[in-house]
Amino acid sequence: MARLSSTTLGLIAASFLVAVWVYVSSWTLSDVPSKEPLRAALVSQTVAKSSYDPPAAVRISEGVTKQILKKGDGIHFPVTGNTVLMHYTGTLADRTKFDSSVDRNQPFETRIGVGQVIKGWDEGVPTMSLGEKAVLVIEADWAYGDRGYPPIIPPKSQLIFEVELLKIKQ
Active-site residue list: 88, 98-99, 118, 144, 161
Please report the beta strands in the chain, taking only residues with DSSP state E, as ranges in sequence order. Answer: 57-61, 64-70, 83-92, 97-100, 108-111, 133-138, 159-169
- What three-state secondary structure class fits 10? helix
Cβ(128)–Cβ(72) under 8 Å?
yes
Measured at the CA of 106, the angle between CA 102 and CA 107, to 5 degrees, comes to 80
Of the candidates 6, 132, 154, the one whose C-alpha atom is nearest the C-alpha of residue 70 is 132
Pairing relationship of beta strands 64-70 and 57-61 according to DSSP bridges? antiparallel
Query: Exposed/middle/buried for 95, CB within 10 Å: 0-12, 13-18, 19+?
Result: exposed
Distances (CA, A) of 127 to 10, 67, 77, 159: 53, 11, 7, 18
